[in-house]
Structure 1
């Protein structure tokens, strides 16, 4: 019996040390972000050259929101002649194409029930631009979802970072509906943290950032080298990121702000994050070996490869492994061993389980609290909600554990998320 308790103690100690060793560098990211926030950060402006950009929006039944996005693009403080807007109305059954064209976009419709997903829509539009608009010689392509809204200096700030030599640039992702409930705020806090406490310090430390679904810029030469948008796993954004990092690309970050709508029901959130979890497994399976090779290659992208490996590694499954082993001994203690042994086993496993959950909650709470304190002026909701949702943020993140476990065994397909927040950029400001 003593051997079983000793094994449990050693196992949980090892898991704690192992996790700390793998992810301690994230603390450095946070410290770098906090330190640099204390220093003066000059306001970015429209610094020449004014590159020519094509904006690509893949939209599926987005008539309610797409007009406001196009309006926010047209209101940019950037030479209007240097921005063209392209919308691919992908398998739409509403009047998305009509609304987008009326708002001033170049629109093409696409109908394909076999090749379903944003990646296929993006590649379709890239092909059209190559065939029909090659004379415009775009320097880069912005990728947005139809529910996004851009601050008026968004393109100018992204152009500044692009001019610094970054061929791929990600940006600051804020939320249109932070204040709806604990689900939308959970997403929002994570995206704010990812922007300022992950991607920004990555760039400051000369590592690669990561794009996150929408709100990013890709140089035209990158797409030419890749042969278009060739990434079609369930998380095409992280697949694109990992593939570029392996090739030695460093993705830059700009604090150019855009707004995004988050799911508000647990059913919507479950389906979306199930796709993300399954997609991460797919990317890990497809690129994990190449990332491992990159880590030990000795090239300048070694740490970026390690960072991406930690990003896509199914860390929640390691937590699940620890909980499962403890649960096994807990049940065995109930069913097999003598009464005194039962007490020792049950106490050890219960303490381990409560300790693990408490430790995870505390770490997530610190992340949420630090993020909310620094970004509070950019979050549009009542002060008491900012405080309340800081406490619910760890609970939202902990729901990833059953999602990650379910995604291991369930077939997952891409499904659109309906958008309902038809706000203008003026309302957000």
Structure 2
């Protein structure tokens, strides 16, 4: 029995991290859907949405970055939703004196999903570009993303978030994730966007439920259900500084991974392969990742109980791997503040393990932090 459990659990892990990326790469190569990209002769009006909370130190620079884009200023509109700000964020926005910047404000902080819903009520353009206040855009992002919308099958386009600096090295794992995302996009659609940079057809966007954690999946999946594609533009860059500490990244991952459980309860059709056009991608990329830590535990226990040479090899390999993780944590992260792919991998799976407990024990609304 231990051998069977070991084979099944190890097979699940191999599928999640190796076979699925290979399968989706092959599907993109053999069955990928072409996109007709063309810059419109007459540039459309575009609205940029920023949802902010107590961002007085960076809001002015963020708005100036938007108007520094290579796009006619008179065709850019910015909506700033001040989500219960208690600092001088609103005053900073008003002091700019820009006619095409609209400030939406209210007293109580409700979270980003509520702020997005308030923004949607004020958008008058056919296209909307979403971002967060702490990131900045490359100047040509609109030239890179806008041509996708000449294809009527495209409902939304997400850009490429680059991490400029952090205490660790997210490079390898982040490149791995983006490679999978590109293959999913080339094949049909990605299941979630980067909240820091994505553009959508306004008419396709849903009204976000209050306190939904993963608005960057809720919106795209709602668009996909309307038979539109959500794709990835690798050449449209936004820049972020990344998390400062491993604990900060861990807490963020717990919150977002717990948000997956909430998403499935809000959109139960996503779990139905007959109703969800991207069920295969959602299951393989998102659901399997939530289950990985449980299969890692099964792999460890079953390999410890087997007498087969292969099981013994797997058991001692895991001991070495976890020992190396502890060594890196205490001697590299604790002393030098450096993280690695191994630490990031273990942190992510510990976060996935905790996320399930957090969702069922704590109210989901408590997962939201002021943004």
TM-score by length of 2: 0.79
* Correspondence for 1:310 among 280, 284, 289: 284
Question: Where in structure 2 are the equivalents of 1:101-116 lying within 5 Å?
Answer: 101-103=94-96, 104=98, 105-113=101-109, 116=110
What are the ranges of 5 or more consecutive residues in structure 2 without an aligned counterpart?
A: 31-36, 323-336
Matched, 1:413 2:367: yes
Tell me what 2:49 maps to. Answer: 56
What residue in structure 2 maps to residue 13 of structure 1?
7
State the shift of 1:413 in Å: 2.0
- CA-to-partner distance for each residue in 1:17-73, whole Å, 9 max, x for gaps? 3344466231245578999xxxxxxxx995534121111100111122222221121
* Alpha-carbon contact 2:243-2:249 (below 8 Å) kept: yes
SS of residue matched to 1:211: coil
Q: Structure 1 284/345 Cα, relative in aligned 2: closer, same or farther at 3 Å?
A: farther
In structure 2, relative to structure 1, the CA distance for the partners of 1:81 and 1:281 (3 Å cut) is same
CA distance in 1, matches of 2:29, 2:156: 25
**Deviation for aligned residue 1:176:** 3.3
Name the structure 2 match of 1:395.
343
For 2:255, the equivalent position in structure 1 comes to 275
Distance 1:274 1:124, change over 3 A: same
Give the structure 2 partner of residue 167 of structure 1: 155
Check the 8 A contact 1:65/1:146 in 2, yes or no: yes
> Partner of 1:250 in structure 2?
229
Structure 1 residues 56 and 230: CA distance shift in structure 2, 3 A: same
Match of 2:204 in 1: 222
Contact 1:280 1:314 in 2 (8 A): no
1:200–1:405 Cα change, 3 Å: closer
- Corresponding residue for residue 60 of structure 2: 67
**SS of the residue aligned with 1:100?**
helix
Distance 1:110 1:232, change over 3 A: same
Structure with higher Rg: it is 1
Equivalent position SS for 1:399: helix
Residues 1:32 and 1:111: Cα distance change in structure 2 (over 3 Å): same
Distance 1:258 1:355 in 2: 39
State the distance in 1 between where 2:320 and 2:200 align: 41
Task: Give the Å deviation of 1:357.
Answer: 8.0
Match of 2:215 in 1: 236
Deviation of the 1:273 alpha carbon: 1.1
Q: What is the CA deviation profile of residues 116-143 of structure 1, one whole-angstrom value per residue up to 9, with x for unaligned ones? A: 21010111122244xxxx4xxx111111
- Partner of 1:203, secondary structure, is helix
Aligned to 2:167: 181
Contact residue 143 and residue 215 of structure 1 kept, 8 A:
yes
* Mapped partners of 2:191, 2:220: distance in 1: 8
Q: Tell me the distance in 2 between the aligned counterparts of 1:189 and 1:21.
A: 19
Judged with a 3 Å threshold, the aligned counterparts in structure 2 of structure 1 residues 78 and 401 are, in CA distance, closer, same or farther, namely: same
What SS is found at the alignment partner of 1:313?
A: helix
What is the alpha-carbon distance in structure 1 between the residues aligned to residue 176 and residue 94 of structure 2?
A: 35
Offset of residue 317 of structure 1: 3.0
Q: Deviations over 1:175-220 (max 9, x none)?
A: 232xx321xx32x55444444x133322322334531222111112
Match of 1:206 among 188, 200, 210: 188
Distance 1:391 1:214, change over 3 A: closer
Aligned to 1:371: none
